[in-house]
Amino acid sequence: MFWWLWLIIAVVALIIILLIYYFNKIVVLSNRIDNAFSQINVQLKKRNDLIPNLVATVKGYAKHEKGIFEELAKARAEMTKAGSLDAKFKASDMLSNALKSIFAIAENYPILKANENFKELQQELSDIESKIAYTRQFFNDSILFYNNTVTTFPGTIFAGIFGKQKKDYLQITQAERQNVKVEF
């Protein structure tokens, strides 16, 4: 056998192994992003499902606070019909704010505040808010890993071959991080 033939075979084998390795790596990393995204959706849906309960409970004590119920209903409807990621998070932020105001209003109603059901809902919703924040964090972490792989050498070459591009982070604003924990 000619030595250069072996060399060519070795180089071709190496390229094929690298191609498979990077293809799998990129697929695994982008699957992780999809998984993170569906985790966000699970939490958003859980929160949406709790809102009718909350409204029913609060209405029993604070019927005349109409403005806030409307705001909540609107945000919830937006949330349900939102298709794109951006629209979803806009609606989600709206909903978070509406919830914040409803809990602020509850401060004025001692009997409501003492209601067992209300306290449970408040705790549950506050827990879901922090879960949403954590799922978004994991989503961004997954994007960070993915982007690091497709933008650094040699991953960038293979990403180019497979037509994979850098993905955008979700914006997490300072204000949002602060209202992760609903204070009460």
Partner 1 sequence: MNYKEYAEKYKKISFYDQIRNNKLKSWLLLIIIVVVIIGLMFVISQVYDPTMVFTFLILGIIISLIYVFIGYYFSDKIALFTVNAHEATDKKYNHLNNMVEGLALAGGLPKPKVYIMPSQEINAFATGRTPEKGVVCVTEGCLTKLTDKELEGVLAHELTHIRNYDIRFVTLAIILVGLIAIISEIFLRSLWFSSGNGREGKNPMFLIIGIALAILAPIIANLVQLAISRKREYMADAGAVQLIRDNSGLISALKKIGNYYETNNKTVANKTLASMFIANPFSGKSITNLFSTHPPLSERIKILESM
Residue with tokens 């070795």: 10
Among 25, 55, 141, 182, binds partner 1 (CB under 8 A): 141
- Which residues, 6+ apart, have CB-to-CB distance to 118 below 8 Å? 54, 57, 58, 106, 112
Candidates 96-104, 111-119, 122-130, 154-162; binding stretch for partner 1 (CB under 8 A): 122-130
Residues 71-100, interacting with partner 1 (CB under 8 A)? none
Among 32, 90, 100, 119, binds partner 1 (CB under 8 A): 32
Candidates 11-19, 31-39, 84-92, 99-107; binding stretch for partner 1 (CB under 8 A): 31-39
- If the CB atoms of residues 62 and 103 are measured against partner 1, the closer one turns out to be 103
Binding of partner 1 by 39 (CB under 8 A): yes
Binding of partner 1 by 36 (CB under 8 A): yes
Minimum distance from residue 138 beta carbon to partner 1 (Å) = 5
CA dihedral 171, 176, 177, 182 (to 10 degrees): -150
Q: What is the CA radius of gyration of the chain?
A: 24
Minimum distance from residue 163 beta carbon to partner 1 (Å) = 24
- If the CB atoms of residues 51 and 133 are measured against partner 1, the closer one turns out to be 133
Q: Residue 79 corresponds to which amino acid?
A: M
Helix extents (H) in the chain: 3-59, 66-81, 85-106, 110-114, 116-151, 155-162, 174-178
Binding of partner 1 by 117 (CB under 8 A): no
Report how far residue 144's alpha carbon sits from residue 132's, in angstroms, rounded to the nearest whole number: 18
Minimum distance from residue 24 beta carbon to partner 1 (Å) = 18
Burial class (CB in 10 A: 0-12, 13-18, 19+), 164: buried
Residue with tokens 């409307």: 70
Q: Which residues bind partner 1 (CB under 8 A)?
A: 32, 35-36, 39, 43, 120, 123-124, 127-128, 130-131, 134-135, 137-138, 140-142, 144, 169-174, 177, 181
